[in-house]
Amino acid sequence: MSFLKILPLLAFWSMTAFAMKAGAEVKSYREWKNERVQLAQADVMSLKAQIDLKKASRAVAQGTDPNLNNKAAVEAVSTTDMSVEKLERRLREEQYDLEVAKDLSVTDYFVGYLTKVQDKKAAFNEVAGKLTPEEVAELMTAYANSVFGAQASDLPVSANNIGKEPK
């Protein structure tokens, strides 16, 4: 995975890197993910509004500034045009970050949020009751992959305790 692809994940994780107080309520996976998505959506909407405002300002200025009527010439490029280009570039980055936020998994939640909590044991106990069976399965699969270095389906029968008769 390239650095550019994991950069948004690092940003999400670093946003939660602050140490939570021991008595603070720990967010569930869905709460955490929804918060990340909402923050990313707000950033996208804010940038879209800024771009629209800059473009509207430019349209008004073109009617009054004789230099901007000659738009094809290099000397007639306004700083507003350059700032719109920068905002549009940032918008593309934020839209990508929004897609990353929408794809955050329970593993990302564990690594990027739960491990940043001061009292991990209390946080794990609190979150254990909030996870759905699918989220627990995803965490267990990630754990198995990290411990055994294989996909859960590739684990030996003995690791899965399948096929063994109790004695």
Query: Mean pLDDT in the chain?
Result: 76
The reported pTM is: 0.64
Per-residue confidence at 32, pLDDT binned at 50, 70, 90?
Answer: very high
Cα Rg of the chain (Å, integer): 24
Tell me, what's the pLDDT at 57?
81
Within 13 Å, how many C-alpha atoms sit on residue 153's CB side? 0
Distance CA 2, CA 91 (A): 21
Is 50 within 8 Å of 56 (Cβ atoms)? no
Secondary structure class of 46 (helix, strand, coil): helix
Q: Any idea which of 2-6, 14-18, 156-160 has the lowest mean pLDDT?
A: 14-18
